[in-house]
Structure 1
Amino acid sequence: MRNLTLATLTALVARCAATWPHPHPPKDLPPVTSEALQALISLDQLESGAQQLQSIADAAGGNRVFGSKGHNDTVYFLYDTLLATGYYDVELQEFIELFSGGTASLSINGEVQDANIFTYDSSGSASASLVAVDNLGYEVADYSTEVSGNVALISRGECPFALKAANAATAGAAGAIIYNNVPGPNIAGTFTEPGDYAPAVSVTQEDGEALLAQLEAGTPVTVELEVNAVLENRTTFNVIAETKGGDHENVIALGAHTDSVEKGPGINDDGSGTIGILTVALALTKFAVTNAVRFGFWTAEEFGLKGSEHYVSTINQTAGEITKIRAYLNFDMIASPNYAYFIYDGDGSSFNLTGPPGSDAIEADFQAFYVSVGENYSATAFDGRSDYGPFLENNIPSGGLFTGAEDIKTAEEVEQFGGTADEPYDSNYHQAGDTIANLAWDAFLLNTKAIANSIALYATDLSKIPPVTSTTPAKRAWYPSRELTASGPRKARTALAEKRSVSRKRHTGCKKGHAVAI
């Protein structure tokens, strides 16, 4: 971690000043409106901000993983930019979090294969035969006696990665290979926290099924596997900026995460959300607000929502503080190259799981925005897989936008949004290719305007959203799936709930309020 010297701070402020307009606001500002705020959002600002993050990552070895120089420079850039406006009270929230990294290697019958390490993996090596695990490795009984001393081949699905790797260790496996259950790039997940795991790597569905076919044909498969896991405590930071004006007893909060994975710079995931909300924050300085607006830039999301969890747990220590947040909006990946316009399913009509009261109104307002500009939209599961999760746990009405990650775009979605069928929404998800060269600028601009629209609405009027009377989450209601009617000038909704789940990052375990990594 680098020290923020006076000279460095001065240089950073000067750099920001050259990139972003942020004059100190006059005392008398006009009230914010959606039209006026959206008018201040430009593609030039988004390009400039994305380039800033790309340059930070390039100068730091290619990533912005939390606790690294790349992430710290991202944090300082945001902090200095927001502080220089004079419009916000800005806090640099420091804490210590456990970092997991390292390397993995895999060869099959002497040929090197692509393999990823899991977050919170266990170190170890294996030189042994490959043995297929029955079913999905959910039960210890799925692991035959042949697994002992060998490497287990396990399909993703139905239960957390961590449980599969722990069961493999219990069965005496020297290692584990977990292969994807859907097409797409090789995406590693997380074990949520350190534990007693067989050293494990992830491979693609194609590679995993090819190995399984060899085993089923009776062909012996020899594996050389090595995992060198790194676990260390790192100091990291959230950045919190709240308008000086507005009613601080009624706050509209929004957020994005500032860290990338270790393999790449994370310019879509989640540089797009970071720059999107920063651009709105800068535009908002031209206006007065009725309700206070709080921007959260969260660290360590890629390690299990650690930044947002820390923030929510901190404000929970002061009685009544959490209930001042009337709504929370999340923006994690809003410029995917093969994008769809997804809205979190706050009313539960698509994925059968509601958000806290008021989440339905947030979803409806995003829908109305897309209809107003003649764009289609669809729903994404409101399953707690990004930084809105800790807010859901505290019964805070929530919502947000998402343009897709590693899941595959359907032909029906191509009819709605364009792009390429049978390809991931973002083929560079969690890869070195998640760079400024692979952003969808039209989606980036439109979604940033959607953010501006929502902030203008709720900074003026929160009457659609009921006050938070209890931070104990109510049971989230389930409804039978139903076909959705078209709305707006084009087919604006689709009934995809029965066909596939538009999932978020599979990076957490069975902890309450989080999605299961499977």
Structure 2
Amino acid sequence: MRIRRFGAFMSAVLISSTLVGFSPKSMDYNHTSSNAITQEETEASIVNMQAIIDSLEKDGDFASPAVSRALKTHITAVGHYESSKSYKKAIKHMESFHVLLNNYVTKGMISENAANLLRDYADALISKWDAIFDSARVMDYLHQLSVEIGPRVAGTDGERKAAEYLKSQFQSFGYETSIQEFAINNRTERTLKILNNNKELALGAATGSSVTGVKGVTGDFYHAGLGQPGDFSDDAKGKIALVQRGENSYWEKVVNATNAGAIGVVIYDNTDSLTPVRPTLNNNSTIPVVGITKDDGEALLAQLSKGAVKANLIIHTHTNQKSQNVIAVKKPANVVNPEIVYITSHYDSVPYSPGANDDGSGTSTIVELARILKNFPTDKELRFVAFGAEEVGLVGSNYYVRNLPKEDFDRSLINFQMEMLGAKYEPASYLAVNTVDGKANTAWDYTNAAFDKLGKDKEKLILFRRGSSDHVPFHNAGITAACFNMGTANGGLEPEYHTHHDTIENISPERLQFAGDIISTAIFDFLTDHNSQEKDLEEAS
């Protein structure tokens, strides 16, 4: 990629300009006609870039009017991406503008000085857009987490793969990145895989079920109706009984299946639900038993009507389990013992769930925040932490806070926790700032101010008393903390929460952009207001 000509300070100024309306006041373009370009024209915008092209054409810097038309056509197209807030695409097409300029220079159709002026201006726009929160990028990260990797249950390969992916992303932005490993409780794996199509179904645990070996039991399904004695024949022997809920008890169904020689029982619900039924046996079975949804049960029946369906059923407890936190750090230059600002999320999911919203959306958001903050001038130490094992009791965040060295703890200033920011569920249009005690704090104050600054509807902002996420250990340790999530007006969540329907198809890029604009503004403004270098920047500009 072409190395941009802007210095570190100019990049910092342009980042600040996206937030506080600052306009570059002096850019030495080394061009004879630059004195004719007003201060307003040097403000980084598509309209002003087109005006500069017009000025260059009048000054005779182009070989023909066709050059001016081609340049303006390209810039107009880029402007459409900017207008639609597709900043990633705007940057890509503005970078290709450099190629167009180079071609014209090679052919002698534009002066080198004019080309340098336009290159610098293009880079100004790229730097400006590069510092804007972009939900399209968030969706890219989210696709990798929830689609390419999928469920990320604590202690599993999926969680470890996600940790490595996040580490690589943070490293690509230039952060000092590490993995913090810790022990978690034993994990019971419950897996029902349909071998015909390699599809894994979401399961409900049955109390009183037996366990299996690590490889589980494998056999064809046997349709046993409601699991009455007359629903079984000799054909059930050595097979997995598929039984509908209803009429007789769960235990009676299991006893009848066991007596018929079945090697396992799968009970499907008789009512519609997004979550699988969880059978209560009130006794101890000698064969494995699980529950599934009505939809999955009926889908299996449809498959059985076409021929044999083979499955593998595992209920096995794994010991000596570990999870990991992913930590990315940006330390300010020439600052001794800087205060620490934490921007966090959890990246694990519940079993069977791709975890797109919970908490792939929050985790993808902190990755994007890390990207746009990588060059932000601040005297604070920024720490982005993606916690593992949140879903099994905030284990990762508790471990992290508990093991902070005293010198780090004393420097800890505030924690911004991201949780479930993108539900497409229509009522979930409110941004909640959750504090453990329900009281306003610094994070709330800056979020409230960001709503005003961006002209957002304040009816969509709520202060809510809620723990249940990774801001709790920070709060309990005396560090200011808040958790952000998109939910309903009364703090409710979407129906896909903690189900296998928490997929990327149920994520709204518009909601992610709404939340990201506000939260990024709140964090930028917090860092700016608490930045002892701010005065130096203003004087230098």
So what's the TM-score if we normalise by structure 1? 0.54
**Counterpart of 1:302 in 2: which secondary structure?**
coil
Distance 2:408 2:353 in 1: 36
1:374 aligns with 2:358: no
Contact between 2:139 and 2:364, CA under 8 Å: does it hold in 1? no
1:401 aligns with 2:484: yes
Contact between 2:338 and 2:411, CA under 8 Å: does it hold in 1? yes
Match of 1:308 among 378, 397, 400: 397
Question: 1:289-304 residue pairs with structure 2 within 5 A?
Answer: 289-304=378-393
**Counterpart of 1:321 in 2: which secondary structure?**
helix
So what's the TM-score if we normalise by structure 2? 0.52
1:253 aligns with 2:342: yes
1:434 aligned residue: 502
Gap change, CA 1:425 and 1:462, over 3 Å in 2: same
Distance 1:328 1:387 in 2: 9
Tell me by how many angstroms 1:117 deviates: 2.9
Distance 1:81 1:325 in 2: 24
Length, aligned pairs only: 328
**Counterpart of 1:281 in 2: which secondary structure?**
helix
**Counterpart of 1:103 in 2: which secondary structure?**
strand
1:457 aligned residue: 525
> Cα deviations across residues 432-489 of structure 1 (Å, max 9, x unaligned)?
22111110111111112223112212222349xxxxxxxxxxxxxxxxxxxxxxxxxx
Question: 1:89-128 residue pairs with structure 2 within 5 A?
Answer: 89-103=176-190, 116-117=204-205, 124=210
Distance 2:529 2:276 in 1: 41
Tell me by how many angstroms 1:47 deviates: 2.1
Unaligned runs of 5+ in 1: 1-16, 106-113, 129-149, 153-182, 190-196, 205-225, 414-423, 464-518
Gap change, CA 1:336 and 1:311, over 3 Å in 2: same
Contact between 2:331 and 2:380, CA under 8 Å: does it hold in 1? no
1:275 aligns with 2:364: yes
1:320 aligned residue: 407
**Counterpart of 2:320 in 1: which secondary structure?**
strand
Distance 1:345 1:104 in 2: 35
Match of 1:392 among 465, 475, 495: 475
Gap change, CA 1:203 and 1:384, over 3 Å in 2: farther
Q: 1 or 2, which has the higher helix percentage?
A: 2
1:333 aligned residue: 420
Tell me by how many angstroms 1:67 deviates: 2.5
1:241 aligned residue: 328
Question: 1:495-510 residue pairs with structure 2 within 5 A?
Answer: none
Which residue type is aligned with residue 302 of structure 1? E
1:417 aligned residue: none
Contact between 1:343 and 1:399, CA under 8 Å: does it hold in 2? no
> Cα deviations across residues 87-140 of structure 1 (Å, max 9, x unaligned)?
x221211222224233399xxxxxxxx97239xx87559xx9xxxxxxxxxxxx
2:443 aligned residue: 362
Contact between 2:332 and 2:338, CA under 8 Å: does it hold in 1? no
Unaligned runs of 5+ in 2: 21-127, 193-201, 212-226, 228-248, 252-271, 294-312, 532-541
2:167 aligned residue: 79
Tell me by how many angstroms 1:240 deviates: 0.8
**Counterpart of 1:335 in 2: which secondary structure?**
coil
Tell me by how many angstroms 1:73 deviates: 1.7
Runs of 4+ in 1 over 6 A off after TM superposition: 197-204
Tell me by how many angstroms 1:377 deviates: 2.3
Distance 2:3 2:184 in 1: 32
Contact between 2:136 and 2:509, CA under 8 Å: does it hold in 1? no
Gap change, CA 1:117 and 1:227, over 3 Å in 2: farther
Question: 1:164-183 residue pairs with structure 2 within 5 A?
Answer: none
Contact between 1:22 and 1:282, CA under 8 Å: does it hold in 2? no
> Cα deviations across residues 228-250 of structure 1 (Å, max 9, x unaligned)?
46242323221111113265531
Tell me by how many angstroms 1:284 deviates: 1.3
1:51 aligns with 2:105: no
Distance 2:284 2:526 in 1: 49
2:216 aligned residue: none
Contact between 2:142 and 2:504, CA under 8 Å: does it hold in 1? yes
Distance 1:243 1:279 in 2: 15
**Counterpart of 1:301 in 2: which secondary structure?**
coil
Which residue type is aligned with residue 361 of structure 1? T
2:375 aligned residue: 286
Tell me by how many angstroms 1:49 deviates: 1.4
Contact between 1:252 and 1:455, CA under 8 Å: does it hold in 2? no
Which residue type is aligned with residue 151 of structure 2? N
Structure possessing the higher relative contact order (Cα contacts under 8 Å, 6 or more residues apart): 1
**Counterpart of 1:64 in 2: which secondary structure?**
coil
Distance 1:399 1:451 in 2: 11
Report the aligned-residue RMSD.
4.2
Distance 2:397 2:509 in 1: 27
> Cα deviations across residues 249-294 of structure 1 (Å, max 9, x unaligned)?
3111110111111212111111101111101101112322121211
Contact between 1:22 and 1:85, CA under 8 Å: does it hold in 2? no
